[in-house]
């Protein structure tokens, strides 16, 4: 052993002194040198730069810096790739390598390749007549055979010529060329195309172009072609301006063929729009301070729901109505105060241009709030203040300025060692509405004044108790509360109109509630029960309905039992209907292999007589093979029909996953009558993800 290491060290020093540019170290059972030729045999290990090579026999020409390895050759290059081969030829001086009968695997790409001949020239690796995969080597679920591949080790870009995709041993499809990046960083170029077939629109093709010239922004341009309908283009500009903030700007235009417009009676031939979304916390504040602030922007302009629907790839992305709301919110929060400036803008594409001009927008909304705090340093006496300003306006020039102030002063006390608590509040409420350029509207409503003001003082008495007790290993908490609101003084001037609701202070009422929680031995909640009963002393609405003394009795229950089951219901009982007026319920079963949920929603509205009643069910089964089988269905109990359904299966494997299914879709559209309509489709979809190439998805639509 001693002579072996001496032999190793001597040859390492000799080779290092012979060539500074090619430092080669050998570890072998036998090493011989004849002139400039070094021959090593018997479990040879060679170290060169970031290469580690093993072979049965190695011949190295020191002068030419050429090395040949024979028999069970293995090569590892840093963290980039590893290779097995029968013969490897390395030209260390010219950075050119040849591999025969090789097996190659990339550590970063997760791909492996197998073939007869491969060559590396500097930073480019070329493979000929081979196949690649990321699945099990012995029996891969998928692989790609090709005539040649060029892979740039620096840019991580791979060019594949004449690829044929196989599932097991069955060829599925052929392409003349595929170019893709193996790097996880953003890179400019063509993204994967998307294909689909629609009963109305025919063959659908999208080809995105991706540009990423800067780490802080990128741009995606997606031309779209629908054979039977027309063509369009969509762009998305994404950006980040700080480590915590970012957003995107989206715009698109689609031009529909005139024949398609006439066949389906569309309102618009062109569908276009623009979106801006942006979020930024800490606009003016620091991460190290107590104050916080934030900006949220969500603005959408469109002329038609099809601007959204033509881009959608999932049901969740479809426009669910003809109405769109834009919002801009900014807030600044301190320990004692809160300030917010908001805005809401509404677009209803089903309205005519004249009707849109009469739509009230809500910009700006200003809120100033002082959190509850001690008065005169006395803990038992607390006060707070709230101010709100709303500006409503229409494009035709109408406007309403609505302001309100709420000033509560509350006294807290407790009795019997905090078993019984009591608070009394004096609340001052004032609101003022000013109407501008609304003479015709005021006259139509029989209103003579151009303003309305309300001042109201009301009392609030709150009796409550928080109790807790253990029963062995279990624990029970209960809160009993009775709250009474009583207006004491009210002064009204001017007139109200339907366009705005001004009454924010409570009318005289009494509200009683009991809340219970039960916890198990490990602290887990297994029962929640809440019951609430309001009693009204003056009507909440001045509608045609008769005054109802007792509000709906509400009972909310959540039970978790047998580890995997959960039952929930929130039920409202009407004394005047002598039945349930509203209910939301579900029962859920959740286990490692199953997730099943049955939902029911019911609501009856006294004012307009409308009733909603439907069931829905969702289920997922996770098989031991690693697949998710899922289904959902919704049933309209009033119309006695299925309103929505979908079934599918999601296969998960180490080297791929596939989601395939059928779903029921309803897409809103606009007709020439300027009314919202919809298209009812059944869609067959599949989405496949091949590691590491990424995701491909396609859909086929059939109108019902």
Give the pLDDT confidence of 40-88 residue by residue, as tens digits. 998 899 998 888 999 999 999 988 889 999 999 999 988 888 999 999 9
Helix (H) or strand (E) holding 232: strand 230-242
Query: Within 13 Å and on the Cβ side, how many CA atoms surround 169?
Result: 2
Give the pLDDT confidence of 322-345 residue by residue, as tens digits: 788 999 999 999 999 999 999 999
pLDDT tens, residue by residue, 605-616: 766 567 888 999
| Per-residue pLDDT at 293 exceeds 90 | yes
- Average pLDDT rounded to a whole number, residues 466-486: 93
* Alpha-carbon distance values, 333 to 278, 285, 291 (Å): 20, 10, 6
Residue 305, pLDDT above cutoff 70: yes
* C-alpha–C-alpha distance, residues 206 and 236, integer Å: 14
pLDDT at 228 over 70: yes
Give yes or no for residue 513 having a pLDDT over 50. yes
Q: Give the pLDDT of residue 10.
A: 41
Of 692, 701, 685, 690, nearest to 173 by C-alpha is 690
End-to-end CA distance of the chain: 82
Is residue 503 pLDDT above 70, yes or no? no
What is the value of pTM for the model shown?
Answer: 0.74
Given pLDDT bands bounded at 50, 70 and 90, which one contains residue 477?
very high
In terms of C-beta density within 10 A (0-12 exposed, 13-18 middle, 19 or more buried), how is residue 689 classed?
A: middle
Task: Give CA separation, 173 vs 166, 206, 207, 352, 650, in Å.
Answer: 8, 19, 19, 49, 22
Q: Are 222 and 208 in contact (CB under 8 A)?
A: yes
Instruction: Say what the pLDDT of residue 616 is.
Output: 93
Q: Report residue 655 as tokens.
A: 């080297």
Alpha carbons within 13 A on the beta-carbon side of 526: 14
Residue 529 clears pLDDT 90, i.e. is over it: yes
Write down the pLDDT at residue 500.
59
CA 678 to chain centre: 25
Q: Which among 683, 585, 602 is positioned nearest to 636, based on CA atoms?
A: 602
Query: Do the Cβ atoms of 103 and 114 come closer than 8 Å?
Result: yes
- Mean pLDDT, range 687-700, rounded to an integer: 82
Tell me how many helices (H) and strands (E) the chain has: 5, 43
Which among 593, 639, 638, 642 is positioned nearest to 617, based on CA atoms?
A: 642
**Closest to 267 in 3D by CA, of 304, 308, 230:** 304
Q: Give CA 110 to chain center in angstroms.
A: 27
Query: In Å, what is the CA distance from 278 to each residue of 244, 285, 312, 361?
Result: 11, 18, 21, 21
Report, as an integer, the average pLDDT of 35-41. 90
Question: By C-alpha distance, which of 167, 182, 179 is closest to 135?
Answer: 167
pLDDT at 539: 63
For residue 11, what pLDDT band results from cuts at 50, 70 and 90? very low
Which pLDDT does position 459 carry in this prediction?
92
Q: Look at residue 179 in the predicted model and tell me its pLDDT.
A: 82
Least confident of 186-190, 409-413, 603-607, 647-651: 603-607
pLDDT of 319? 64
Question: What is the overall mean pLDDT for the chain?
Answer: 86
Mean pLDDT within 94-99: 90
Q: What percent of the chain has pLDDT over 90?
A: 47
**558-598 residue pLDDT tens:** 999 988 999 999 999 988 878 888 999 999 999 888 899 99
pLDDT of residue 466: 92
Residue 81 confidence (pLDDT)? 84
Per-residue confidence band for 256, with pLDDT thresholds at 50, 70 and 90: very high
Question: With 90 as the cut, is the pLDDT of residue 273 above it?
Answer: yes
pLDDT of residue 133 exceeding 80, the answer is yes
């Amino acid at each position: 052993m001693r002579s072996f290491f001496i032999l190793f060290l001597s040859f390492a020093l000799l080779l290092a002194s012979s060539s500074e540019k090619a430092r080669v170290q050998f570890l072998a059972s036998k090493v011989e040198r004849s002139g400039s030729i070094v021959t090593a045999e018997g479990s040879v290990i060679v170290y060169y730069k970031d290469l580690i090579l093993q072979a049965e026999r190695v011949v190295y020409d020191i002068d030419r810096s050429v090395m040949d390895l024979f028999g069970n050759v293995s090569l590892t290059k840093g963290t980039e790739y590893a290779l097995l081969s029968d013969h490897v030829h390395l030209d260390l001086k010219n950075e050119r390598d040849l591999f025969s009968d090789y097996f190659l695997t990339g550590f970063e790409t997760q791909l492996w390749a197998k073939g007869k001949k491969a060559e590396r020239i500097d930073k480019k690796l070329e493979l000929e007549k081979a196949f690649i995969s990321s699945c099990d080597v012995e029996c891969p679920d998928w692989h790609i055979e090709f005539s040649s591949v060029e892979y740039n080790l620096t840019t991580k870009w791979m060019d594949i010529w004449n690829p044929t995709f196989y599932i097991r041993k069955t060829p599925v499809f052929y392409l003349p060329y595929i170019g893709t990046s193996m790097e996880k960083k953003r890179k400019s170029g063509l993204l994967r195309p998307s294909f689909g077939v629609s009963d109305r629109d025919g063959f659908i093709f999208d080809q995105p172009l991706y540009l990423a010239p800067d780490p802080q922004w990128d741009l995606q341009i997606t031309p779209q072609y629908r054979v039977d309908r027309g063509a369009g283009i969509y762009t998305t500009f994404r950006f980040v301006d700080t480590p915590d903030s970012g957003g995107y700007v989206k715009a698109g235009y689609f031009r529909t063929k005139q024949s398609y417009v006439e066949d389906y009676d569309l309102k618009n031939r062109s569908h276009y729009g623009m979106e801006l979304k942006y979020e930024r916390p800490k606009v003016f504040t620091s991460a190290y301070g107590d104050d916080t602030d934030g900006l949220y922007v969500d603005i959408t302009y469109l002329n038609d729901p099809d601007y959204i629907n033509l881009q959608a790839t999932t049901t969740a992305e479809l426009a669910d109505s003809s109405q769109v709301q834009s919002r801009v919110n900014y807030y600044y929060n301190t320990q004692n105060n809160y300030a917010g400036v908001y805005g809401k803008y509404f677009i209803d594409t089903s309205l005519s241009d004249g009707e849109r001009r009469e739509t009230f927008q809500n910009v700006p909304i200003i809120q100033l709030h002082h959190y509850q705090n001690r008065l005169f340093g006395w803990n038992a006496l607390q006060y707070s203040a709230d101010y709100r300003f709303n500006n409503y306006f229409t494009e035709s020039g109408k406007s309403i300025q609505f302001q309100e102030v709420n000033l509560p002063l509350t006294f807290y006390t407790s009795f019997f060692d905090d078993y019984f608590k009591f608070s009394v509040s004096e609340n001052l409420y004032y609101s003022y509405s000013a109407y501008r350029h609304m003479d015709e509207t005021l006259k139509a409503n029989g209103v003579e004044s151009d303003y309305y003001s309300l001042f109201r003082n009301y009392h609030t008495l709150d009796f409550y108790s928080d109790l807790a007790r253990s029963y062995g290993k279990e624990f029970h908490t209960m809160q009993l509360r009775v709250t009474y609101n009583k207006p004491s003084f009210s002064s009204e001037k001017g007139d109200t109109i339907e366009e705005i609701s001004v009454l924010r202070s409570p009318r005289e009422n009494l509200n009683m509630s009991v809340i219970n929680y039960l916890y198990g031995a490990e602290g887990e909640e297994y029962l929640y029960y809440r019951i609430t009963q309001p009693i009204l002393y003056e009507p909440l609405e001045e509608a045609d309905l008769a005054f109802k003394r007792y509000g709906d009795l509400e009972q909310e229950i959540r039970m978790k039992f047998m580890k995997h089951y959960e039952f929930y219901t929130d039920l409202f009982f009407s004394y005047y209907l002598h039945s349930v007026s509203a209910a939301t319920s579900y029962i859920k079963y959740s286990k490692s292999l199953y997730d099943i949920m049955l939902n029911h929603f019911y609501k009856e509205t006294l004012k307009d007589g409308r009733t909603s009643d439907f069931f829905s069910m969702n289920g997922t089964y996770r098989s031991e093979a690693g697949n998710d089988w899922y289904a959902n269905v919704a049933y309209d109990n009033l119309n006695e029909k299925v309103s929505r359904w979908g079934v599918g299966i999601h296969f998960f494997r180490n080297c791929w996953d596939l989601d395939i299914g059928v779903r029921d879709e309803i897409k809103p559209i606009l007709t020439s009558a300027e009314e919202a309509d919809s298209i009812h489709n059944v869609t067959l979809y599949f989405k496949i993800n091949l590691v590491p190439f990424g995701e491909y998805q396609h859909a086929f639509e059939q109108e019902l």
